[in-house]
Structure 1
Amino acid sequence: MSLKREATSGSEVDERLAALMTNSNAIRAIASAVEGTLGPKGLDTMLVDKFGEVVITNDGVTILTMMEANHPAARMLINIAKAQQEEIGDGTTTATVMASALVSSGVEQVARGVPVARVIEGLRVGLKKALEAMRAQARPVKGLDDPLIRQVALVAGRDHEDIADLVVKAALLIGEEKLKDTSFKFSETVVAEEGAENQVFMGVIINKERMNRQMPKELEQVKVLVIDDALEPEEIDDEALSTEAGFTRYLQLQAEFKENIRKIATLGVGLVLVDRGVDDAAEELLTDAGVMVVQRVANKELRKAAEHTGARMIKRTGLKKGPDELEKYLGHAGRVYNDEKLEQVWIQGGGGKPMATVLVGAATSEVVGERERIAKDAASSVQAAVRGGVVPGGGSLELAVAREVEKVRAGIRGMAAYGVDCVAEALKRPMSQIVANAGFNPLEKLGDVIAAQAETGKISLAIDCDSGQVADMYEMGIVDPADVKLYALKAAGEVAEAILRIDTIIKKREEKETQAKDAG
């Protein structure tokens, strides 16, 4: 009986370890897809769909979100990367690599006999210390003229100087106060277009053209009306329309609608932006009045245009208001221009809030997407640096923090110390991968940096990926936003703990099958 119980217990342990190993392998596979892109010598990844469409990118979150991943643990990691991108806008590759290292180290400890609960306990202690140590090293930037701002843009922009300059120029136009606003996303001001010239301007771009060529192509000192609705008469259902009263009502609504359109023209409105479709009669009347109309404008662009011009968005029923009341809903723009080559409408010099647009040019359609991703990363990093300061890059900070975490281990009793070890190992992974991608031996170079940091007390020492020598990242201008590092480590810790807590994988029944059985 005793032997049977022991055999059963051993089987349960094997099953739990098998679940951990399966999840760990899935996480490792995901990390291996992006780790080769890390650092200045990181290479690109080619993604190909079933139709042969190709995306070539160095952007971690793009690779993760576009790649095919069916394993649930893999999807958990991808969701964490998406959250990092949504919150901070950069650092997804670092978060993925560290999460993989945490999980792999944790599984190794469990395989050696350390209880999962003790590993997780140690992880929490190590991560808490690491995050504290990282926060303590954040160096605030001294305004948008601080040279560190451009260095952040250059590092996040993968050494594209033209993109870094555009992003810094836009940041100066927008201002520090706006960049610190948590509801504002600097990356959303970035637009990339094939054949466009690199530029930054105060205004917004609508990715639609005017409704027809008879409408004016360019206007100056324009009143702007933004309609968050269709510019069409109110509808009457077919049943009501079949009655005399219903038909009379239909004619009345048509007359009211045309009167509202004439009112728009009488108010001197030059630009009308519409969320949905525009009625043929409205198009004709507004064309005759010399009004530029843009229909089916994306809601995000509609809101940006309203904010920039100072217009208050209105529904079609609101057009019934008197002229004096309707005037209060109008915005103003210094210039409106329909660029036929780019198939866009540019709105500049708005009377509302300042709004800069970063227009990134690309020579071919194949590189448009990647140029836009690079610029968005640079913009997100600049905003993060303004909010939370900067830290040295190149994996130097993580390595220095790993040494601090190792000091904590000495004071931990019991098996939780092995969980602390997992955090220290994960913190070494970014530099190790950066060095490997540059073609150097990670073990050798990590040893050199650890010795140099300990000897000099400088946490900013790492490896120059060109020479392979130990160098000061601050002196080289290799800096990262502190918030990117903090969020990446925090996200990695959360997904690692979630994965390590799973000891059984059970396939769910299909919903239809469940409902059929319940009905039976």
Structure 2
Amino acid sequence: MATLQGQPVLILREGTERTRGKDAQTLNIMAAKVIAEAVRSTLGPRGMDKMLVDSLGDVVITNDGVTILKEMDVEHPAAKMIIEVAKTQEDEVGDGTTTAVVLAGEFLKKAEELLEQDIHSAIISSGYRLASEKAMEILNELAIPVSKDDDEMLKKIAMTAMTGKGAEVALDKLAEIAVRAVKSVAEEVNGEVEVDAEYIKIEKRQGGSIDETELIDGVVLDKEVVHPSMPKKVKDAKILLINSALEVKETETDAKIRITDPEMLQKFIEQEEKMLKDMVDKIVNAGANVVICQKGIDDLAQYYLAKAGVLAVRRVKKSDIEKLSKATGAKVLTELRDVKPEDLGAAELVEERKIGDEKMVFITGCKNPKAVTILIRGGTEHVVEEIARGIEDAIRVVECALEDGKVLAGGGAPEIDVSLKLKEWAPTLGGREQLAVEAFAKAMEIIPKTLAENAGLDPIDVLVELKSAHEKGNKYAGVNVETGKVEDMKENGVVEPLRVKTQAIASATEVAVMILRIDDVIAAKELSKEKDKGEGMEGMGDMGGMGGMGMM
């Protein structure tokens, strides 16, 4: 409220809450640190899992950073900004979500120490941006080139992404499946590899063991054959894909047909039957013995197709039709008027199989499948879901490695190298920015420190040993959580794509800078929920919605 000649002037609505200056920065940083702390214990191969329970009692058990953050019910706006970092990381590279969030939290924690020394947030932001750019240069120098034909290295990348995600039982096999799947859908365009992971379909079925997970060189449909009289197995399949219904079309305008005697009714029915018979004849004459339809198939059309020995599946998702087109080479038709033999796709085998309790249709043996399916098996639903998340991460990191052709050693090696080189570089800047660069460098140590903590090792000893190894010139030295020793991560096969690290650092820096620049938080009472005064966190919004954060 302002005053003019002694009269109060209301600028904001009565009851509006406002947090300004250092208080606003402190509360925002605290919210960000709470989020980072919530997922920190999940980082690395020895990271712990979180059990997330929603209001309906549904349970998700995972240590995948983005899954945890998406499921958490968060109120505070700064906390939501940190969660956006994880979502961006997931969309861009598919892995490294926990790393990005933990880094963002640590950048803000170190910035808070500088704010307490009366260093302006604009100077910290400027220093952080400079440090981030320099970190990118350092990471590019550290990068190890990888060839698209180096299956062994690609497999190691997939194994690194899946380690700690419940896939250890069959890690070797699952990594091989991920690499083969990505290489199947990879295409070379102007000398560069392009991968569209959309064409890798993941089907999940509980029952059986993780070892039974398999890669199918084609598409698996979560559907069954529409008519019991149809063949359940078709070899040397000629496949017709149609995205319209195999039914008699209704008139576009409202029309009434008056039928005055039974003979007319009979003619009407016969005409309808003839139209459906003609449709089926066109399909059969074109040489198709498998029909995959995006919409419905009339009961009578099903009967005629069954009589002609054609296997048909209806109400198949549009995305699956597109994958089938890519896998079998079939054109997707909207009309049956001019169906030709060259419009059909080919597969060695189309068959209905029973997997677990349900039937599925397998289209396999495609000559050059540019769409494949990974069928994931596991003892329980939670196991299957977690394996699927691990495989999705593996697919995305192999995709990044193929497209960029560059990888980094893991185990905290790049972070320590970046930290040491930034500390050397900071004094060359002059001015207060160098303090921010040093804080950034110190924050980078949080990754190896957390890896050590989560493995039950002494983080101080590990950091000292790591720095010593890097100063001696071993730039691939990282922490081996299995042995507790500092070892060459490149030799150990712990590698991850360069893009995972660069994206994590860039996103974490951006959000930290954005939060640091906020010095005023205005909230109207109607928008904010009731404050939890007992927690002494006024102005932060009700963070009780985060499941009480009991996990921390």
TM-score, reference length from structure 2: 0.82
Q: What is the aligned partner in structure 1 of residue 407 from structure 2?
A: 390
Relative to its length, the structure with more strand (as a share) is: 2
Question: Which residues in structure 2 correspond to 1:337-486 (within 5 Å)?
Answer: 337-342=351-356, 343-350=359-366, 353-388=369-404, 389-454=406-471, 456-486=472-502
Specify the code of the residue in structure 2 equivalent to 1:217.
K
Unaligned runs of 5+ in 1: 1-12, 512-520
How far the C-alpha of 1:358 sits from its partner, in A, is 2.9
Q: Distance in 1 between matches of 2:20 and 2:112?
A: 13
User: Of 74, 82, 86, which residue of structure 1 is paired with 2:79?
Assistant: 74
Secondary structure at the residue paired with 1:122? helix
Question: Aligned partners of 2:495 and 2:306: how far apart in 1?
Answer: 53
Q: Does 1:166 align with 2:182?
A: no
Matches within 5 A, 1:198-277: 198-236=213-251, 240-242=254-256, 256=275, 258-277=277-296
Task: Please show how residues 322-337 of structure 1 align to structure 2 within 5 Å.
Answer: 323=339, 326-337=340-351
Query: For residue 428 of structure 1, what is the amino acid of its counterpart?
Result: E
Question: Structure 1: how far apart are the matches of 2:250 and 2:428?
Answer: 74
Q: Does 1:19 align with 2:44?
A: no
Unaligned runs of 5+ in 2: 1-17, 528-552
Residues 118-166 of structure 1 deviation map (CA, whole Å, 9 limit, x = unaligned): 1111111000000111011111123434532222121112142231232
User: 2:292 aligns to what SS in structure 1?
Assistant: strand
RMSD: 2.9
Picking from 52, 55, 70, the partner of 2:57 is 52
- Greater alpha carbon shift after TM alignment, 126-135 vs 31-40: 31-40
Q: Quick one: which of 514, 517, 522 aligns to 1:498?
A: 514
Which residue of the partner structure matches residue 109 of structure 1? 114
- Partner amino acid for 1:411? T
Specify the code of the residue in structure 1 equivalent to 2:128: L
| 1:18-60 C-alpha deviation (Å, 9 max, x unpaired) | 2222222222222222211111211111111222221111211
Aligned to 1:319: 336
Shift of 1:256: 4.3
Residues 54 and 180 of structure 1: CA distance in aligned 2, closer, same or farther (over 3 Å): farther
Q: Which residue of 2 aligns with 1:124?
A: 129
Q: In 2, Cα distance between the equivalents of 1:421 and 1:231?
A: 68
Higher share in helix: 1
Q: Which amino acid aligns with 1:446?
A: L
The answer to whether the 8 Å contact 1:31/1:97 transfers is: yes
Aligned to 1:92: 97
Structure 2 Cα separation of the partners of residues 377 and 23 of structure 1: 30
Q: Does the 8 Å CA contact 2:159/2:394 hold for their aligned counterparts? A: yes
207-216 vs 486-495, greater mean Cα deviation: 207-216
Between the aligned partners of 1:293 and 1:146, the Cα distance in structure 2 is 38
Cα distance between partner residues in 2 of 1:352 and 1:51: 45
Cα shift at 1:433:
0.7
C-alpha deviations, 1:476-514, integer Å up to 9, x for none?
221111111111111212222222222222337989xxx
Which digits, 9 at most, give the CA deviation of each residue in 1:207-256, with x for residues without a partner? 2222233222111111111122333333336x7223679x99x9888864
Give the match's secondary structure for 2:482. coil
Shift of residue 430 of structure 1? 0.9
Larger CA deviation: 32-41 vs 407-416: 407-416
Distance in 2 between the 1:508 and 1:298 partners?
45
CA distance in structure 1 between the aligned counterparts of 2:239 and 2:294, rounded to whole angstroms: 14
Amino acid at match of 1:240: D
Letter in 2 for 1:17: K
- 1:19/1:168 Cα in 2 relative to 1: closer, same or farther (>3 Å)? same
Distance in structure 2 (CA, Å) of the matches to 1:104 and 1:235: 66
Write the distance in 2 (CA, Å) between the matches of 1:230 and 1:106. 61
Residue 35 (structure 1) aligned with residue 40 (structure 2): yes
